[in-house]
Structure 1
Amino acid sequence: MYYSATQSAAAALMKGVFMQEMNLDQTRLCQADQAASLTVIDCQFLNIVLTDRPVDLPSGFWEDHPLFEFLIPLSPIPRFQVGDRELNCLPGCLLPIAPGTRHGVLNGCQGVSLIQIFVGRDYLDRLSGQMGSPRSLAEFVSDALPLQPDIQHMIDRLIQEYRGSAAGREVLMSSLAQVLVILLIRHYSQPAAQPEIADPGRLKDEQFRFQKVLSFMQEHYCMHMSIDKLASQCGMNSFHFIRSFKKQFAVSPYNYLTCIRITNAKRLLIRTNLSVAQIGRQCGFPSASRFSAVFLKDTGLTPTRFRRSRKAP
C-alpha cells in the first residue's frame, strides 16, 4: 500500500509529477533520487513528496498536472509563479495549486528544500461533500498562506509513522492522511462564487469571444467535456482559455459548466418523476454518487431532500 520498490500506480504518478517539475528524465531516476534523497509517501488518495536534501529548481514553468498540490517550502523560493501571479514563498507558508495550473520558478532557485502534498480531485471533492461543505468543488486561493500548526503536526505524524514499523502502521497512516485532507479543506478552501449563467446572445465586450463555447455548454451539458474540447471552441489553448474565461466570468469553466448542470438537475427534480440516477446521467454526471456529492456541495441538500422540499405536500 505504501511506497516501496514496487510502487502503486498512485505513487508512480506522484513521482512522475515530481520528476517533471524537477526537469528530470527517466534515465536519470536513480542518480536523481540519490542526489535529492527523494522520499514518496503513498497513502493511495494522498501522496507526500519530501526532499531530504536540497535540490535545484530549474527556471521556467513546470508542467501542469491533474492533481491538487499543496507546496510547503522549507527554504525560501523567490519569484515563484502560479498562473499569472508571482509570489515569494517562505518557510512557514503553504501554497495551494489547483489542477491544471502552470507553476514554477522564474529564475530558477538553488538549494531548495520542500514538501509537496498531492491529492486527487475526485477524492478531495468527495470528502468535501461528506463534510457537508456548502462550498463549491475544490476552490482554493493560490497564495502563500500561513501553514497552520495542526497541519504541520499531521504531516510530522505521517512522516513519523512512515519511518517506523509499529503495529497498525498502514491503518494509522490512512487515517492520518484523511485527517490531513480534511484540515486542508477546512483551513484553505474558500466559498466559491456562484456563477450567473450568461445569455450567449447578450454578452459584453470581451465576453463575445466565448459566445460559441457558452452555447456549446448550454446545449450539450449532458456530454463529457474536457477543457481541451471547450478551449477548441474558442480557438485557444487550455491554459489561456481557463485564465481568460475566469477573468470574464469570475469562475472557472469547470464551475460554470457545473452550475449549468445543477440548474438543469433542479428543474428535472421538481418537474419530473425521473430517478436521481437518471437525472444525474441526463445532466452529465458519470454516476449517481458523483451527482449527489456535487449537488450537496452546491445546494446544501441531497437531490432527494431537495425534491421533497420543493414538491407540494
Structure 2
Amino acid sequence: MGFSNYQIAGKPAGTSKSNLIYITYTKYENDWPSFMHTHPFTELFLVTGGVGEFYVENDVYPLKKGDFILVNPNTSHTEKSGEENPLEYIAVAVDNYSLNLDNEANHFMFNCILKNPDIIKYMDSMLNEQENNKPYSDHICQNILEIILIEILRTTKTNVDTEPTVNSSKECFKLKKYLDSNYASKITIDDLARLSNLNKYYLIHSFNRYFGSSPINYLCKIRIRVAKELLKNSDYSIDQISQSAGFSSQSYFTQCFKKDCGMSPSAYRQKERIG
C-alpha cells in the first residue's frame, strides 16, 4: 500500500488579515468615463476579453486577455478601451493588503495564461459565486481570495504588508462603486439611504469618514471630472455635457464647475484646447 503523509506547518504569514470589499465585472459599452483615480485599498484586475490600455501613475500598458494587474493602495490609475474589441475585466478590491515591491513600485503586472492560469480559475469562481448569490458566497469568496493572494506571492516572489489600509465599511464602499457607475442618474441622499439600508445622517458621517467627502459632494466631483474629459475631448455643447455628466441643469453645472475649477466650462475648454 502506498502512503504519503504531509505535515502542515500552519497558515502562511501575511494573508489571513485581508478583507474582501467587492467583486465587479465590467465590459466597455461606449459609456466608460476614463479618468485617473485612487482608492485606499488594493485592487486586482484580470482582463477576461478585448483589448485596451492600463494607465498607472506615469506608466501605460497595453492590455489583452489574461493580463493581471495588482495596484497598491493610493495609486493613481485608470483603464481605457476601444470600441472595436471592447475591454472586459474582473476587479477585486482588498483591504489590509499591499505588496512590497522592488524599487518602491506601486503596481505589478503579468499574464496569467503564461505564468499562472490558476488565478483565472479562482477569479472566475469568485465572480460566479457572487453572480449566482449562492448561500455563504461571501465566506467562500473570502477563502478563494486567500488562495489568489498566495498565488500572487508565488508568482511575484515578494513580501506582503497586511497593515489596515482603511477601516472598511462595506456599505460605504458599495455606495461609492454605485456612484462611480451611475453618476449620470438622478441620485439623492434618500436614494442612497434606501440602497444601503442606513440612516441618511449616519451614512453621510460614515462616507465622509472613509472618503473625506459627503456622498453628494463626491458625486459632484465625479461629474466634474467626467465633464472635464468631455470638454477636452468632444465637441458636445455645454448643455449636452451637463446632461451627460448628470447635472440637473446647465446653470447648475456652470455654478458647480466655476466653484471647483475657478472658471466657466467654456473658458476651461478654450484653455485646454489652446494649451
Same-fold status (TM-score > 0.5): no
Where relative contact order (Cα < 8 A, 6+ residues apart) is larger, the structure is: 2
Query: What's the TM-score bracket when you normalise by the shorter of the two chains?
Result: 0.3 to 0.5
Q: Taking structure 1 as the reference length, what is the TM-score of the superposition?
A: 0.35
